[in-house]
């Protein structure tokens, strides 16, 4: 131990008692001259003078940095008006992008990454459901990974190149659909109704999320023209909203443009022609849907843009399907023509089938069924037979009832098929490809229908 401090105090000026100073490292005593002598001992170490010098330098640098930042803040305040103007310009640009779905798509890479992940999940589900080891699946997985890498690369370069990726994505969708078709043993016999009825429903083909890229658009429908005019054989339609109201429709020239969300036409329903219920179809280039006021069946000719409606006096607004409100009038089309289904007060809520005369837009004939509409999830026509569905559980639907308008016979069935989501708002059969088209909680879903020969 080394002494580092010596205090000399006269007895008269000492303000600390001597005995209070006695400790292991401090000693005090009265010397020969009568002065108090104090000794302080510390461990034998070198004082870190270099550290103190470093701290002083750091402190000095920090003071300079604070002054610099304060000057910057003064400069920022002076240019705040300029930043606010830039922010205003940016808001306008964002509003312009939001007003056009196509422009919005070209700039949003994160959504595309989400779609690729969903697509990879769908491929896995299809592989598991088919219990297949086909090399087609390995090829799809590799292409998905390659596309993900390309998306990440393009995002750092020119964002307008996203359209290239969209085309590749559409090709992948087609490959997946072709892969599923290859595993369908029973090929459809288009236009033939010489059979006893539906035998089974295939696995769900989940195409993608709706064109608004919004799962909140739960009420809607999609599909193909059930009686296409020349030149529009490949046309698809789509319409959806966050509630059961119908405000507009989108038309796509083919399947690829449906995937790319590149609409051929967009029809806004004018005031007074809005609809409800979402049970609409396109038949012979005409959209048939439920009209609001007056409560009636309505149609929009896509060629002439002409509207028309017909009131069904017996149709009731009191009965809807179980999955969605206001689905009072349900349109369907099959190999025999155009149909509409509804319930009446006289039928006490049971479904009534009506055949529509397409020229006069009137009712040709009616058939009463034993299926309560409020217990059914939806219904559709195929070869003159009405099929009603209901829920079995969260992921399973069942065709439980059939009524044949040719023989006036009814059947109780139990044909199960899978659902991608629990609820859906549009289900209809298309005779041109013998598929069911379902709008399943915001997603495009289709099924192959197999008939018993």
pLDDT at 157 over 80: no
Q: What percent of the chain has pLDDT over 70?
A: 60
pLDDT at 233 over 70: yes
- Please give the C-alpha separations between residue 374 and each of 73, 296, 388, in angstroms, as whole numbers: 66, 19, 11
Query: In the prediction, which pLDDT does 196 show?
Result: 84
pLDDT band at 120 (very low <50, low <70, confident <90, very high): confident
- Mean pLDDT along residues 43-67: 59
Sign of the torsion angle spanned by Cα atoms 244, 250, 253, 258:
negative
8 vs 192, more confident:
192
Query: In the prediction, which pLDDT does 122 show?
Result: 67
Q: What mean pLDDT is reported for the chain?
A: 78
- Mean pLDDT along residues 156-180: 63
The whole-angstrom separation of Cα 135 and Cα 396 is 30
> Which of 75-84, 115-124, 162-171, 199-208 has maximum average pLDDT?
199-208
pTM summary value: 0.64
Query: In the prediction, which pLDDT does 107 show?
Result: 44
Angle 288-356-341 from CA coordinates, rounded to 5°:
70
Task: Render 398-450 in DSSP notation, one character per residue.
Answer: EEEEEEETTTTEEEEEEEEEE-SSS--SEEEEETTTTEEEEEETTEEEEEEEE
pLDDT band at 213 (very low <50, low <70, confident <90, very high): confident
pLDDT band at 20 (very low <50, low <70, confident <90, very high): very low
Query: In the prediction, which pLDDT does 46 show?
Result: 54
pLDDT at 167 over 80: no
pLDDT band at 420 (very low <50, low <70, confident <90, very high): confident
pLDDT at 22 over 60: no
pLDDT for 335-350, tens place per residue? 999 999 999 999 999 9
């Amino acid at each position: 131990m080394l002494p580092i401090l010596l205090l000399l105090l006269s007895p008269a000026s000492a303000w600390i008692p001597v005995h209070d100073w006695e400790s292991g490292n401090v000693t005090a005593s009265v010397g020969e001259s009568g002065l108090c002598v104090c000794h302080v001992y510390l461990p034998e170490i070198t004082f870190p003078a270099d550290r103190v010098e470093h701290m002083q330098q750091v402190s000095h640098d920090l003071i300079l940095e604070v002054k610099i930042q304060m000057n910057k803040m003064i400069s920022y305040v002076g240019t705040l008006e300029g930043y606010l103007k830039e922010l205003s310009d940016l808001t306008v640009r964002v509003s312009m992008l939001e007003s056009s779905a196509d422009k919005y798509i070209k700039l949003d890479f994160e959504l595309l990454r989400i779609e690729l992940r969903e697509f990879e999940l769908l491929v896995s589900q299809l592989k598991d459901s088919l219990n297949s080891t086909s090399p087609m699946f390995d090829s799809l997985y590799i292409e998905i990974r390659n596309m993900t890498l390309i998306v990440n690369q393009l995002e750092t370069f020119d964002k307008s190149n996203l359209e290239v990726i969209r085309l590749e994505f559409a090709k992948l969708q087609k490959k997946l659909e072709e892969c599923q078709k290859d595993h369908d043993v029973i090929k459809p016999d288009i236009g033939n109704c010489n059979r006893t009825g539906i035998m089974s429903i295939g696995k769900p083909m989940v195409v993608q999320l709706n064109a608004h890229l919004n799962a909140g658009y739960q009420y809607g429908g999609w599909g193909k023209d059930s009686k296409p005019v020349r030149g529009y054989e490949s046309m698809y339609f789509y319409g959806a909203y966050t509630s059961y109201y119908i405000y507009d429709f989108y038309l796509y020239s083919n399947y690829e443009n449906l995937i790319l969300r590149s609409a051929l036409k967009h029809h806004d329903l004018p005031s007074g022609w809005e609809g409800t219920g979402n049970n609409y179809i396109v038949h012979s280039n005409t959209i048939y849907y439920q009209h609001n006021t007056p409560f009636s069946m309505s149609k929009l000719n896509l060629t002439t843009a002409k509207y028309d409606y017909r009131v069904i006096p017996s149709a009731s607004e009191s009965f809807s399907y179980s999955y969605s409100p206001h689905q009072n009038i349900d349109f369907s089309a099959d190999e025999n023509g155009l149909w509409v289904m509804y319930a009446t007060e006289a039928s006490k809520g049971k479904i009534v089938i009506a055949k529509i005369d397409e020229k006069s837009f009137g009712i040709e004939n009616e058939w009463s069924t034993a299926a309560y509409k409020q217990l059914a999830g939806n219904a559709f026509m195929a070869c003159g037979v009405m099929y009603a569905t209901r829920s079995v559980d969260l992921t399973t639907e069942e065709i439980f009832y059939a009524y044949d308008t040719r023989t006036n016979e009814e059947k109780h069935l139990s044909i199960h098929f899978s659902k991608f989501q629990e609820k859906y708002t549009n289900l209809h059969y298309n005779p041109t490809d013998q598929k069911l088209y379902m709008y399943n909680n915001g997603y495009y879903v289709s099924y192959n229908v197999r008939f018993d020969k």
